[in-house]
Structure 1
Amino acid sequence: MAGTSLSENLVILEAETGAGKTEAALWRFAQLYESGAVDSLYFALPTRAAARQLQSRINKTLQTMFSDPPPEAVLAIPGQAVSGEAQGIRLPAFEVKWDDDTGIESRAKRWAAEHATRFLAAQIAVGTVDQAMMAGLQVKHAHLRGSALSRSLLVVDEVHASDAWMTEIQRSVLRDHLALGGHALLMSATLGAVARSAWRATPLPSLQEAEQTPYPAVWTKDDCFPVSSDDSAQKEVAISARKGWSGEDAAAEAISAARRGARVLVIRNTVDRARETLAACVNEAPNLVFELNDTPTLHHSRFAAEDRALLDARVEDVLGKGSIAQAVIVIGTQTLEQSLDIDADILITDLCPMDVLLQRIGRLHRHCRSRPDGFERASALVLCPEGDLGRLTSEPENGLGAYGQNATLSGVYLDVPGLAATLREIEAAPLWRIPQMNRRLVERATHPERLDEIAAQHGWEDYRRRETGKTIAEIMGAQNVILDRREAFPCSFPSDEVIRTRLGESGAIVTFPDDTIGPFGSPVTTLALPAHWSRELTGDEPPEIIAKAPLTFRVEAAGFVYDASGLTRLEED
């Protein structure tokens, strides 16, 4: 990164998970800042959990990058008021009291941290990519956000993780940001040729050409700079697939490995399967299961924000760098596959798209340390559905596939040809060398030539066309809500619709009474209900607390339990 010209406004960095992309981004910022090309930095991540984890890390790094007093990294998450290590407490009349109360000058520097509309005005801010996307939508304060962002280095991490809707909005923001003279850095471990060509506005290469493209690499608008590979840094992963992905199937494999002393990471595609796996592990080997405050638990999205922070910290205590060697089974969902600096000996995962699978594999052998006998080499076991994948084109299972009878496709991982391509690569090569094989693996599971070939072989052409139609519809839908700065300044924005940075419904937010205690013994204030559990709820309805242990409550006619396995819904009589 240090050798990339500062005159290049758009840079794309591709490197494997754990290769130091964050440090490279900070180096790029330091060079641009020192030259006067930028005044600020916005680090955009795909999730709030990732932003929380990285904000603390970057804030510590700033101590060595700047002379006294160093700037504070603002956490750009709505509802939060965090600057550096200081926490803000919201008061009436839009006032904020900071817990360190260091005086007027310090409070003035934290102005940008006190409200979501100001986040992009911070000198250093770490938050979700959604905050940057709001600068490119027809919503209030979009021009304030875009103007504030214009002097920043905009870093978008895990840029491959966005869907077609999000990507189209991000491309619009990036176009206007660069047109104003701004700088941007896009980063990914698994960026395929399709996405890279779109970002660089270049023709899509053939599958053969794409497979031969260098990796790791630094890209500019017109050039590609290969990064010399370090043979000693190659990670060998023994990978295999097996039929059967019930909770008992996953638990049996996890317990077997843990009883041989391994740190086991289990990532399921859905919360329900994660719960099944936890129950089976607790029933058979409770002493091996991951715990928080002596309570066996999971890691997924259906926890209160306060408990998610506790879970993130505990997972890093157990699997992070410098953690004590111990046999343990950590079970969760997609929340474990990125942002957390964790290191497992073996991965047990459900079948998923190749880019997601490589992210999950990035949690294996991340650091240099001694391994239990039999786990000197990283290993991954991929659990698959029974039978042919073709049935997923009409009936989803465990997060894969879609309801074929619906007018529009919906689901978690819809790309059945891509799943089939991923499974073929697993079966074809039982030993993966990372990052040497990254490029080939990604392209052979994402390139249109390959996916069209697989769809034709299985008779999935109609499903493939419907997938393509869904993508086109999302792009066109995003174009309808994008703020096009090339047009005349608008006098007003649409007032009769909600414009979101992400597709899908939003669940209601339940606000608990002040003395509410969560399953791990700490206070909890709010909890987000999944959208399909909060139909006809506004979030303004006060919850009726039915029991405190486990926390059981009712919102209107719907009843819920919040315990150590997360939020569940009570079955109606």
Structure 2
Amino acid sequence: FAQLYEAREVDALYFAVPTRAAARQLQRRVNDAIKRMFSAPRPEAVLAIPGQALSGEAQGVRLPEFRVLWDDVEDGDRRPGRWAAEHSTRFLAAQIAVGTVDQVMMAGLQVKHAHLRGSALSRSLLVIDEVHASDAWMSEIQHGIIRDHLALGGHAFLMSATLGAVARSAWLDSSLPSLPEAEAEAYPVVWTRDTKVPVARDSGQQKEVTISACPGWNGQDAARPALEAARAGARVLVIRNTVDRARETWAACMAEAPGLVFDLDGIATLHHGRFAVEDRVRLDARVETLFGADSAAGGVVLCGTQTLEQSLDIDADFLVTDLCPMDVLLQRIGRLHRHARPRARGFERAECVVLRPEGGLAVLTQEPENGLGAYGNASSLSGVYLDVPGLQATLEEIEEQQLWRIPEMNRRLVERATHPDRLDEIAGNHDWVDYRGRVTGKALAETQGAKLVTLDRAMPLPDSFPQDEAVRTRLGETGMILDFPEGTIGPFGKPVTSIALPAHWSRRLNDQDIVELAGKEPLILRIGRTCFLYDATGLQRMESTNA
């Protein structure tokens, strides 16, 4: 960005990441970098998350008549650069912004303000991090955005540590190499539309990871190796595919060794997405205190979900994780030995234990479990990690080689778990050809569906624009946001204002109902006939009641 800005090729930067949590973490780092790059008056990094008003370190409070009061300026004083931070339709007009990739995608959909967003973005270097994390629907929309952005004179930079040949070929509009050719490609490497530039690996960043697959993935199965390592002085990370399994593991750890369990303000807890906004920020900070580069030595177990995979500066000695796709697994392994620091005896080499179902993966093609697989008899596939042949490919790589050299082996590991030649072979070996066809068909359907809602800038402007933004950047249902009654104190003793519900918990709720406080200790919320318990383990749905 600095080089393009100095050459007057771009005027702005939008840094897009997959999740809001990642955006919050990165915004602070980008804002610190801006302070080093620019002299006063310097720009501020805007946090591009709807409902937030954060520019640099200044927090805004929304007032009537579309006004915003910033906490570091006197009433009536204006900082014009903050205009872009005051509403989501303006985020892409900021000089520097960090936010979710969804804000970029809104510039490429048939929704209100799409032309404004796209035009504002055209002055920017658009960076999309973790580009491999997008599904077929999102990728198709992003392809259109990048095409139009470049045509308007913008610049784009896509980043991923685990992008396979299939996705790369689609982005570069090139033919798919064979599996041996894909495995032989350099890593790391910078690709452009015209050439590729291998990048020398930093020998100091190379790490060896001992990895093993263990049958059984209930709470006790996960807690056992985690506590054993923590008792030996290791910082242990346990990443489960679902909140229920994370809670189950946390409970098993609490029952056996509560003194080793991660805590916030002395209250034992875990890390996942079902916490109030304010508590999640404090949890993130506590994670970095205990697992960051400068954290003190000592055994501790942190249980959580995918929220621990990225954005947080976590440096663990020992990882326990559920089986997951290879790109996700490498992200999780990236939380191990991130910094050069003294290690507890016996943990000088990073170690990862991968939990798998005891009876093999075939059952996952008929019924999902622990976030893997799909209902085989359903009319359409649904689930978190559907690609069972890809999961089997990942498992076979773990079982065939127990010492991984990262990032030296990244290219081979990713290709052997994502390349269609390899997945076709595995599907044939396990009689999963029909299932693999359904997974592929689902991706093709999502791609075609995305084409129907993307904005075609070659067409004349329409006479009218949509009155709502029902077209979504991500497929699937959207959960409700519950606003706590004013003055509500959360389980960690601090005020809380709102919390997001999972989509499947929101289906029978009326968003017009008032959220009532049905209990304070423990904190119980009631909306209609449904009650929710919010304690140190996060939000839980209670049985419906007629009360």
Provide the rounded CA distance (Å) in 2 between the counterparts of 1:449 and 1:359: 24
How far off is 1:554 after superposition? 1.4
Deviant stretches of 4+, over 6 Å: none
Q: CA RMSD in A?
A: 1.2
Q: Does 1:60 align with 2:32?
A: yes
- Does the CA contact (< 8 Å) of 1:508 and 1:538 recur in 2? no
Q: Does 1:170 align with 2:142?
A: yes
Structure 1 length normalisation: TM-score? 0.94
Q: Structure 1 pair 493/390, CA: closer, same or farther in 2 (3 Å)?
A: farther
* Alignment equivalent of 1:335, drawn from 290, 295, 307: 307
- Does the CA contact (< 8 Å) of 2:132 and 2:160 recur in 1? yes
Q: Counterpart of 1:77 in structure 2: which amino acid? A: I
How far off is 1:107 after superposition? 2.5
Q: Structure 1 pair 295/131, CA: closer, same or farther in 2 (3 Å)?
A: same
Provide the rounded CA distance (Å) in 1 between the counterparts of 2:56 and 2:206: 36
Q: Does 1:121 align with 2:93?
A: yes
- Does the CA contact (< 8 Å) of 2:183 and 2:412 recur in 1? yes
How far off is 1:539 after superposition? 2.4
Q: Counterpart of 2:106 in structure 1: which amino acid? A: M
Provide the rounded CA distance (Å) in 1 between the counterparts of 2:469 and 2:422: 39
Aligned to 2:335: 363
Q: Counterpart of 1:61 in structure 2: which amino acid? A: A
Provide the rounded CA distance (Å) in 2 between the counterparts of 1:111 and 1:230: 41
| Aligned ranges 1:236-275 → 2 under 5 Å | 236-275=208-247
How far off is 1:230 after superposition? 3.2
Q: Does 1:415 align with 2:415?
A: no
Provide the rounded CA distance (Å) in 1 between the counterparts of 2:339 and 2:229: 19
* Alignment equivalent of 1:156, drawn from 128, 139, 160: 128
Query: Helix, strand or coil: the match of 2:246?
Result: helix
Q: Counterpart of 2:380 in structure 1: which amino acid? A: T
Aligned to 1:76: 48
Provide the rounded CA distance (Å) in 2 between the counterparts of 1:572 and 1:129: 36
Provide the rounded CA distance (Å) in 1 between the counterparts of 2:10 and 2:460: 27
Q: Counterpart of 1:328 in structure 2: which amino acid? A: V
Q: Structure 1 pair 378/33, CA: closer, same or farther in 2 (3 Å)?
A: same
Query: Helix, strand or coil: the match of 2:444?
Result: helix
| Aligned ranges 1:132-143 → 2 under 5 Å | 132-143=104-115
Aligned to 2:401: 429
Aligned to 2:420: 448
Deviations 1:366-422 (A, max 9, x none): 000000011000010000011020110001110000011110000010000000000
* Alignment equivalent of 1:190, drawn from 152, 159, 162: 162
Deviations 1:497-530 (A, max 9, x none): 8111011101111111111111111111111111
Q: How many residues align?
A: 545
Deviations 1:161-214 (A, max 9, x none): 011111111111111000101100000010000111111111111111100011
How far off is 1:104 after superposition? 6.0
* Alignment equivalent of 2:438, drawn from 439, 456, 466: 466
Provide the rounded CA distance (Å) in 2 between the counterparts of 1:330 and 1:505: 29
Provide the rounded CA distance (Å) in 2 between the counterparts of 1:437 and 1:559: 49
- Does the CA contact (< 8 Å) of 1:510 and 1:542 recur in 2? no
How far off is 1:546 after superposition? 1.1
Q: State percent identity of aligned pairs.
A: 69
Aligned to 1:388: 360
Structure 2 length normalisation: TM-score? 0.98
Please, which moves more after superposition, 482-491 or 236-245? 482-491
- Does the CA contact (< 8 Å) of 2:118 and 2:149 recur in 1? yes
Q: Counterpart of 1:423 in structure 2: which amino acid? A: L
- Does the CA contact (< 8 Å) of 1:40 and 1:124 recur in 2? yes
Aligned to 1:498: 470
Aligned to 1:201: 173
- Does the CA contact (< 8 Å) of 2:485 and 2:516 recur in 1? no
In structure 1, the gaps of 5 or more residues are: 1-28
Q: Does 1:569 align with 2:541?
A: yes
Aligned to 1:278: 250
How far off is 1:571 after superposition? 2.5
Q: Counterpart of 2:3 in structure 1: which amino acid? A: Q
Q: Counterpart of 2:519 in structure 1: which amino acid? A: A
Aligned to 1:5: none
Provide the rounded CA distance (Å) in 1 between the counterparts of 2:83 and 2:257: 51
Query: Helix, strand or coil: the match of 2:524?
Result: strand
Aligned to 1:290: 262
Provide the rounded CA distance (Å) in 2 between the counterparts of 1:130 and 1:460: 34
Q: Counterpart of 2:270 in structure 1: which amino acid? A: L
- Does the CA contact (< 8 Å) of 2:69 and 2:75 recur in 1? no
Query: Helix, strand or coil: the match of 1:425?
Result: helix
- Does the CA contact (< 8 Å) of 1:237 and 1:432 recur in 2? yes
- Does the CA contact (< 8 Å) of 1:240 and 1:380 recur in 2? yes
Q: Counterpart of 1:362 in structure 2: which amino acid? A: G
How far off is 1:451 after superposition? 0.4
In structure 2, the gaps of 5 or more residues are: none
Please, which moves more after superposition, 227-236 or 476-485? 227-236
How far off is 1:56 after superposition? 0.5
How far off is 1:493 after superposition? 3.8
Provide the rounded CA distance (Å) in 1 between the counterparts of 2:273 and 2:445: 28
Aligned to 2:193: 221
Provide the rounded CA distance (Å) in 1 between the counterparts of 2:262 and 2:254: 10
Aligned to 1:130: 102
* Alignment equivalent of 2:71, drawn from 86, 99, 107: 99
Aligned to 1:8: none
- Does the CA contact (< 8 Å) of 2:111 and 2:469 recur in 1? no
Provide the rounded CA distance (Å) in 2 between the counterparts of 1:103 and 1:205: 61
Q: Structure 1 pair 469/493, CA: closer, same or farther in 2 (3 Å)?
A: farther
Query: Helix, strand or coil: the match of 2:512?
Result: coil
Provide the rounded CA distance (Å) in 2 between the counterparts of 1:572 and 1:93: 39
Query: Helix, strand or coil: the match of 1:110?
Result: helix
Q: Counterpart of 2:352 in structure 1: which amino acid? A: A
Q: Structure 1 pair 496/527, CA: closer, same or farther in 2 (3 Å)?
A: closer
Q: Counterpart of 1:266 in structure 2: which amino acid? A: V
Query: Helix, strand or coil: the match of 2:288?
Result: helix
Q: Structure 1 pair 496/107, CA: closer, same or farther in 2 (3 Å)?
A: closer
Provide the rounded CA distance (Å) in 2 between the counterparts of 1:474 and 1:445: 22
Query: Helix, strand or coil: the match of 2:354?
Result: strand
Q: Counterpart of 2:46 in structure 1: which amino acid? A: V
How far off is 1:487 after superposition? 1.7
Provide the rounded CA distance (Å) in 2 between the counterparts of 1:546 and 1:538: 18
- Does the CA contact (< 8 Å) of 2:112 and 2:466 recur in 1? no
Deviations 1:334-367 (A, max 9, x none): 0000111110001000000000000000000000
- Does the CA contact (< 8 Å) of 2:239 and 2:308 recur in 1? yes
Deviations 1:307-334 (A, max 9, x none): 1101111100110110111110011000
Q: Does 1:510 align with 2:475?
A: no
How far off is 1:549 after superposition? 1.5
Deviations 1:424-452 (A, max 9, x none): 00011100001110000000000000001
Query: Helix, strand or coil: the match of 2:159?
Result: strand
* Alignment equivalent of 1:50, drawn from 3, 22, 26: 22
